[in-house]
Structures are given as structure tokens and as C-alpha cells.
Amino acid sequence: MSTITVHDKTFSTFLSAAEINKQVNRVADEINRDYQDKCPLFIAILNGSFMFASDLFKALNINAQICFIKLASYQGVKSTGHVVTSIGLDVSLKDRDVVVIEDIVDTGKTLHEFLPQILDQHPASLKLASLLHKPESLKYPIHIDYLGFSIPNKFVVGYGLDYDGLGRNFKEIFQLSA
Ligand code: 5GP
């Protein structure tokens, strides 16, 4: 097992590049099967999902489009305080089969706030693909249609995911050492 240091913390190998590749291809097979005669629009949420979105999209053999958005969260706007808005969504979603691509669903709060904004635009259908999911952390009722891995409630980096801006470049996923 190899370890890396990112900023002040040590992380150990958790998912190898081969394991990630296998599950990304399995997810792509499911999407290829479900959208054979459709032309889905993928919305990849930046920054964390960029590597997953790229590998997933390359493994599709259907007609498909992709666009990228950033979500901005604002703390303390109200007493309950967390509002998510999307930046850069310049494609009409009306009557489209939309698939949102996320890196990880943790509490589910981000998507709980964001997915209704997509539904407001009346897509024909809406599904969610996430590389990772921490079921123990989930606090909101988010259904993941296409999932790479369920993982324990420990912080991970690599394959697009960062710790304070660093660690995105690794092709493996590392878990915070105890
Ligand atoms: P949620 O709104 O589901 O609680 O949080 C989702 C976001 O939190 C993810 O898109 C990701 O940016 C961040 N996040 C949650 N857990 C982790 C983790 O273990 N590692 C990293 N790098 N980011 C995480």
C-alpha cells in the first residue's frame, strides 16, 4: 500500500486505477443500455467530477452531449444558510434526458438543493451518476441511479477529488489515514 502526503495530512491507497476503471466501465455499460435510442445531456459538476466525467463519457457508445457547471454555495444567507446556484448552464434542459455527473454524494445536501433547479426546467427525465457515495453520511433523500462505489465515511482524495486544492491529479483514490 502506498501513501501520499497532501498539505499536512497522510492518505493511503484505497481504490486502484484498475478498480476505478472497471467500475466506470460498468456504469457506462448501464448508461449505454438505458439510453440506446436516446441522446442524453450530461451535466458534469465541476471541479471534482472532471476525471470521472471524462472517462465515463469516453466509454459511451451512444449519441450524447455534455456540459459543465460549477455550483456556488453561500453560507449564512439566511439563518439556515446554504443556497446552491449553478454557474455556466447555458443549454436548454426542456424535454431533454438529463444525467447529472457528480464526484461524491456525502450528506446529499448539495444535490438536494441543486436537482430541483434542474426539474424546474422541465427535462424529459433526470438521473444521477456519482462515482462515490458515503451512505453513512447521507442526510437528504438522494437516489443515485448510476453509482461507482459505496465507501466508508472517511475523507478521500485523488481522481479529481481534492484536499484544499491539491490531490486531484492522482489516478488512484486515497483515503485519509487514521
Ligand atoms: P454533500 O453536499 O453531498 O454533503 O457534499 C458533496 C460535496 O462535498 C462533493 O461534491 C465534494 O466536493 C465534497 N466532499 C464530500 N466528501 C468528500 C471527500 O471525502 N473528499 C473530497 N475531496 N470531497 C468531498
CATH number of the CATH domain containing 172 = 3.40.50.2020
Which residue range forms the structural domain that includes residue 121? 3-176
What is the pLDDT, as a whole number, of residue 76? 47
What is the pLDDT, as a whole number, of residue 78? 46
Active-site annotation holds for 106: yes
pLDDT tens string 20-31: 999 999 999 999
Tell me which residue of 90, 91, 19, 30 sits closest to 59, measured CA to CA: 30
pLDDT tens string 77-89: 444 557 678 888 8
Phi/psi-derived region of residue 93, left when phi > 0, alpha when psi is between -120 and 50, beta in every other case: alpha
Does 113 sit in the ligand 1 pocket, CB within 6 Å? no
Does 107 sit in the ligand 1 pocket, CB within 6 Å? yes
Does 63 sit in the ligand 1 pocket, CB within 6 Å? no
Residue 174 corresponds to which cell in the numbers above?
486515497
166, 7 contact by CB (below 8 A): yes
Tell me which residue of 175, 171, 135 sits closest to 157, measured CA to CA: 175
Q: Is the pLDDT at 75 greater than 70, yes or no?
A: no
Q: Stretch 133-146: mean pLDDT, rounded?
A: 96
Neighbours of 42 (CB within 10 A): 22
Residue at 106: amino acid letter: D
Q: Is the pLDDT at 171 greater than 70, yes or no?
A: yes
Ligand 1 centroid to Cα of residue 165, in Å, is 13
99, 41 contact by CB (below 8 A): yes
Strand order in the sheet with 3-6: 3-6, 9-15, 173-176, 156-157
Which of 46, 84, 103 most suits a substitution to test ligand 1, by most atoms within 8 Å of the C-beta?
103
User: Taking CA 51 as the corner, what is the angle to CA 83 and CA 19, rounded to the nearest 5 degrees?
Assistant: 115
What is the pLDDT, as a whole number, of residue 117? 93
Q: Stretch 114-130: mean pLDDT, rounded?
A: 97
The total domain count for the chain is 1
